Structure 1
Amino acid sequence: MSAVKLAEAGMASAQARKWDEAITSLTKAIEQSKSPQWLLARSQALMETGQLDRALRDAEFAYCTAAERGNDKSRKQMIEAQHRRSVIYFRRKLYANADACASWSQQLAQGVAVKAADNTGEFVDEKGFYQVTAADVAPAKAAEQKQQQQQQQQDGGNGSGESDWKKALAWRSTIVRFLEALPAEDPARRITVKLVPVKPSLDQGEDDKDAAEQKKAKEEISRAEIEAAKASAATTQPKPATASGPFRSQMYQSDASITVSLFMKFASKEDTTKVQVDMQPNLITISGVPREPSVSYIVPHAAIDPSKSTYRVATMKIEFTLAKAQPGKWATFGREELSQPDASTLPTATDAPTSSQQAPEKRQEPAAAVKPQGPAYPTSSKSGPKDWDHLADDEKDDDDKDVNAFFKQLYKGATPDQQRAMMKSFQESNGTALSTDWASVSKETVKTSPPDGVEAKKW
């Protein structure tokens, strides 16, 4: 089979999230031609299967090859390669390296010459620790830099478009939140990566060597982290939690997707255009919302597919339509994080922790209060003695439970349109009607229809 056919099969498998099949097909294609596009696709597949060393090697090889070719697709591929490097370093929890690569991706997207794209040095302190903050990557400052730097293009390349720039900006805001949670001299604040990587070898025989080097590096980082934690324990105080409540939300879902509305009031329609949303498989970042802090993080109940997910900003709400990475019903949409969520709690596409995301500790639930028992009277019943003082309460609870269980089951098994019809008809009729026919309910207000012998009153 030709390299092109193999690559097309591999790209299709990656699109379907069949990572192992994608790796197999793309590897055979790359053996015939070292296309940057194919290397970047295999890099993603390797990353999703936890093979971070090989994924990084593919991304860096793709960057070097694209730079060497210098065709009309090269800058776009170089931007994507830097973004891929950033995500891999983020999963390794090397946040300074992750933001450096994301910054270079952003600079290249602006059209800045490669030689002028590295501005990370201005945020490194005298001890060599990277101290960038959220204010340094704010949209206003980034836009100002964009205008200035577009006049300094010397590399002959043009920017790949505003979408890549916005993507890099949103991703950097996520990385910086993790950086801000670190002590000032944490080892993860050191930049050890270079703007232009040394072109690596793609030989499979390098894997064992890389694995050994990675293991050694992790051990060194772990020792450094322990020492840094001991040194800062006496002086570092935890940040106070934000005392702001979550947004009111509403959702309905199918096996393949879930639609969620987060209700918030914008001062004007112009303010809605300032909202920026970055959707990753395990994290949704929303910036520019009318609250403090102005950036919110939402951890979905399970992984989503960002490429098939959309959102819409209105003056009263933000509505998301999220494609589920794995089909099935979700018990909840997720949770809103008022501060940066811990990467160890983020769900993956398979809902299993990866090598860089440790599973959260299981919370121990408090012991349930012991319900006082009534007097047990002598009885010959096979079911044992009854608490006659609370018999009526038990019967009432059973009735309520049966009714609630029926309506929950009815709502759960309904389609999204049927669920919308049920909600609309029940609310507009003041609880006197329940319809599942959205075609008829959507056209007009459902009238209040009390049972015979009962009169409806307005309170």
Structure 2
Amino acid sequence: MSRQAFEEAIEAVIDEKYQEAYELYSKALAADDRSNHQFTSKIFASRAQCSLKLNNYSDALKDSNEALHFDETNVKAYLRKGVALYNQNFKEQALEVFARALEYDATNEQSKVWYEKCEKELLEIKSKPAAPPVKVKHSFYQSDRIVTVQIPIKCLRKDQVKVDTTDKTLYVNTKIPSSGSDYLLDLELAYLIDSSRTTFNVTGTNIEIKLYKREAIQWSSLDAQSTTNKALPPVTMNRPLVDKAPTYPSSSQRAKNWDKVEAEIKKDEKENQDEMGDANAIFQRLYRDSDENTRRAMNKSMYESGGTCLNMNWEEVSKGRITCEPPEGMEWKKYDS
């Protein structure tokens, strides 16, 4: 199913039906089991090309990163990532990506052309006097489960910030209001995350991004290429990834397992949910499951006590008349018709 959709997408690209091709590549990815990493990488890279044709550069960048996650030797994925960065005016980053593509295939003509184009334009820009760029230094802190990245840019709205992640990459793009210049953070992360859980928020002073760890490892750096990260072996953090249930203060010297108590209560409620508060249901169940003598005892005790006493022991009930036993504080009176 995945390969059939992939082949149909190629035909749509040949016919220059890029939106149709994009949807077919998406269909191929949905059916792909990810067992063949090179094939999965090829689908992502091909969908990235459709996004470039449709001028959806941020989508093209995200798909290129996904393609490289599955196959870091995919030259077309590097090429399309570079083009996506170039069209978002991140030419220095694009130049680095084209250089990486040429490391894997020095004969690739498209990579050569784009590398030379970027290099020439960057040299022209550097030759012109320009105001010094605004540097924004990001920081992060972590728990055993979450890495929180903070980027101190003021006066932004959430809809002005683009944040994308794969399980191995982080991409942030916005404009700095104070200068109007572009800001880009594009990192290969030190360790794997669960990208489906990534969230971010924008306050008056910060962009704050929460990355959920796959493992409870101490991150010495966000960047996988950091010398610090490469030099130090992974260190497991003290606390496990599973949250520990809170404990409650008690004067008892023996600790109480409140989770166990709560589970027992819920189990009891579930088992008796159809009977709670319904005396008739209780009586019916007891009567149904009892033997003949027990039923006789139940009928006799309830009838003779006016419904105030239920005795299931026939040996006791058969010895005499059952007296009325009203609840404490109440008096039984015979109804006068």
* TM interval, short-chain normalised: 0.3 to 0.5
TM-score, normalized by length of structure 2? 0.38
TM-score, normalized by length of structure 1? 0.30
